[in-house]
Amino acid sequence: MEFPDRTAYIQIHKEAARRHRQNGEHALARSSYFGWVESVRQQNINEGGRLEQELKEAKSEYSEFVKTDPLYQQIRDAAVAKIREEPGILQTALYKALAAFNKSDITYAMYFADDHGVIARTKKGRTYSLSIP
């Protein structure tokens, strides 16, 4: 699959993510980090894997940012409490249990909580079973 050239977007999102992070603008930084990683991922495909190291670095910086994101921390902590109550709860059930949060925000938090080793996500059909490692 070929994507449109993302070279300019890589730099735009990277600079915006760092600027917003420095300014404490978490929601804007979150969006810019996502845009940066996705732009590098697509351009890496276009270039046959030549940007693999840049993709790894962008993902790593995004993951480090997430650790400081108050939204992530709030959802992560609420999810961990619920997972302790119901080990193996499905992520789809967690959406209902944490109805105060947006589904996409929960997905974001669970992806990175797994990445950070806080929870374990195990694919189960079209969702994930969640547990504490």
* pLDDT tens per residue, range 50-77: 999 999 999 999 999 999 999 999 999 9
| Extents of the domains making up the chain | 7-67, 70-131
Q: 1 pLDDT band (50/70/90 cuts)?
A: confident
Can you name the CATH fold of 70-131? Arc Repressor Mutant, subunit A (1.10.10)
The tally of CA atoms less than 13 A away on the side-chain side of residue 81 is 7
Q: What is the percent of the chain with per-residue pLDDT over 70, rounded to a whole number?
A: 100
What are 11-46's pLDDT values in tens digits?
999 999 999 999 999 999 999 999 999 999 999 999
Q: Which residues contact 17 (CB under 8 A, 6 or more apart)?
A: 29, 32, 33, 35, 36, 61, 62, 65
- Phi-psi label, residue 99: left if phi above 0, alpha if psi -120 to 50, beta otherwise: alpha
pTM (2 d.p.): 0.93
Q: Which residues contact 102 (CB under 8 A, 6 or more apart)?
A: none
